[in-house]
Amino acid sequence: MVEGPVVVSRKGEARVLRGHPWIFRTDVVRAQAITPGAVVKVEGPRGRHLGFAFYSARSEIRLRMIDRGETLSESFLRDRVAAAVRWRESVAEGAAAYRLVHGEGDRLPSLIVDRYGDHLVVQTLSQGTEARKDELVRILVELLRPAGILERNDPRVRALEGLDQRVGLLYGEVPERIEVKEADVTFEADLWRGQKTGLFLDQRENHLMARAYARGRVLDGFSYQGGFALHAARVAGEVLAVDTSAEAVAQIVRNAERNGLANVAARDANLFDLLRELHDRGERFDTVILDPPAFAKSKDAVEKAVRGYKEINLRALKLLEPGGCLITCSCSYHVHEADFEEILAAAAADAPATVTVVEKRGQARDHPVVLGVPETYYLKCFVLRKVA
Ligand code: SAH
């Protein structure tokens, strides 16, 4: 049932008309007796119909637009999940683990659905999608017939919506560990406790891309469970994978064994320190991969993040043999692509190195970026070649 109308300010109206799906608390002029999580009709200050949105009673993002039309179909949730699933048949063809529903990118704001073989992982990150969890489970079961559906509702953003943090079964069964294949590499994913929903699915295409450049001696910094390292090991001489998490390192070792890859060494170390040590020892690499966690989680953290990105990229370029590639990523939304490119240019200037840009990439295509909604473009991945 649709509630409202909720009336937004001129500024809010302009934002909706520009195609942005988020309206902040300060741009809501009137919202009377609305149920938290309800679908509401949205109107401008002079009564202009703007569309429909999920209403959040607690969060700074008060409205998340779901439709700009005159009417909203009763079956919108089902129709959109079905459309999202269909699009993955093109962009994730043949993949075992990938993102089925990516929030705003699938016109289902604050809803994430990931597929790991026969199992699904769901995140309902606002009151709007939380309120529709049961309906969503019915839809997913009907469309995909999964063996189990897990909710990984432990991201901290849920607290901003007044929602609790929880991990639990919504349907069927989900084992402790699941094996999934990315091309010819098998990974073991822990959907219950792993980072994100188990694996970094947003890097799926970049893992495969890295195989085109990895050769000789490879350093994979910020390795997690070896997303890049194991693919690189299929094509390169030897791989050193590094992560501060001892658990991740143990998983890399298990994954390497499972794939019969004897050329992977994994170390539990802080990459900032290790890059310095490797340099002091005069070690060199033919390929370096850097995929750090978001150094800038908020706007205030950008300055420090820029220093961090500059330092690791500078040190990586120094370790790199001429002719070798640096595959370098940033998943901080607040450090935009142009900023990241500037940081990389500054690192190259200081190295000093002459560097060409081989590829500029982003998150995998099953994590759609919405044009005009910069918040949906967070992952940047540059392939650089140190020419000299
Ligand atoms: N490249 C991985 C994902 C990396 S996520 C993949 O494609 O699957 C970032 C990883 O960096 C996390 O596993 C985290 O434990 C690790 N990390 C964070 N700070 C680090 C540091 N200072 N040194 C090394 N690893 C770090």
Q: Is the same domain home to 170 and 205?
A: no
Instruction: Pick the last residue of a domain from 45, 67, 89.
Output: 67
pLDDT at 322: 98
Burial 81-117 (b: 16+ CB within 10 A, else e): beebbebbeeebeebbbbbbbbbbbbbbbbbbbbbbe
Instruction: Pick the last residue of a domain from 12, 47, 67.
Output: 67
Alpha-carbon distance of 323 to 234, in angstroms, equals 20
**pLDDT (tens digit, 9 = 90+) per residue, 251-291?**
999 999 999 999 999 999 999 999 999 999 999 999 999 99
pTM beyond 0.85 = yes
Cis-peptide, bond into residue 352, ω within 30° of zero: yes
pLDDT at 297: 87
Q: Is the same domain home to 299 and 359?
A: yes
Give how many domains the chain has, as a whole number: 3
Q: Is the same domain home to 363 and 264?
A: yes
* Sequence letter at residue 227: G
Q: How far is the CA of 280 from the centre of ligand 1 (A)?
A: 23
Q: Is the same domain home to 16 and 98?
A: no
Q: Is 329 a catalytic residue?
A: no
Antiparallel, parallel or unpaired: β 217-221 and 285-290: parallel
| β-sheet bridge partners, residue 330 | 380
> What residues have CB less than 8 Å from 300, skipping those under 6 apart?
none
169, part of any domain = yes
Q: Is the same domain home to 204 and 339?
A: yes
Atom number, ligand 1, closest to the C-alpha of residue 245: 15
Q: How far is the CA of 245 from the centre of ligand 1 (A)?
A: 8
Q: Is the same domain home to 274 and 355?
A: yes
Q: Is the same domain home to 89 and 107?
A: yes
Q: Is the same domain home to 50 and 165?
A: no
E strand segments, 244-371: 264-268, 285-290, 320-330, 355-362
Q: Which of 223, 225, 231, 239 to mutate to test the pocket of ligand 1 (most atoms within 8 A of CB)?
A: 223
**pLDDT (tens digit, 9 = 90+) per residue, 135-179?**
999 999 999 999 999 999 999 999 999 999 999 999 999 999 999
Nearest CA-CA partner of 349 in 386, 306, 295: 386
Nearest CA-CA partner of 101 in 69, 73, 129: 129
Q: Is the same domain home to 82 and 58?
A: no
In terms of residue numbers, what domain contains 279? 200-386
134, part of any domain = yes
In this structure, the residue with its CA closest to atom 13 of ligand 1 is 224
Q: Is the same domain home to 120 and 154?
A: yes
The band of 61, judged by pLDDT with boundaries at 50, 70 and 90, is very high
Phi-psi region of 226 (alpha: psi -120 to 50; beta: other; left: phi over 0): left
CATH code at position 365: 3.40.50.150
185, part of any domain = no
Q: Is the same domain home to 259 and 341?
A: yes
Q: Is the same domain home to 211 and 339?
A: yes
User: How open is the CA angle 385-295-388, to the nearest 5 degrees?
Assistant: 15
Q: Ligand 1 site: residues with CB under 6 angstroms?
A: 200, 203, 222-224, 227-228, 242-245, 248, 270-272, 291-293
CATH code at position 44: 2.30.130.10
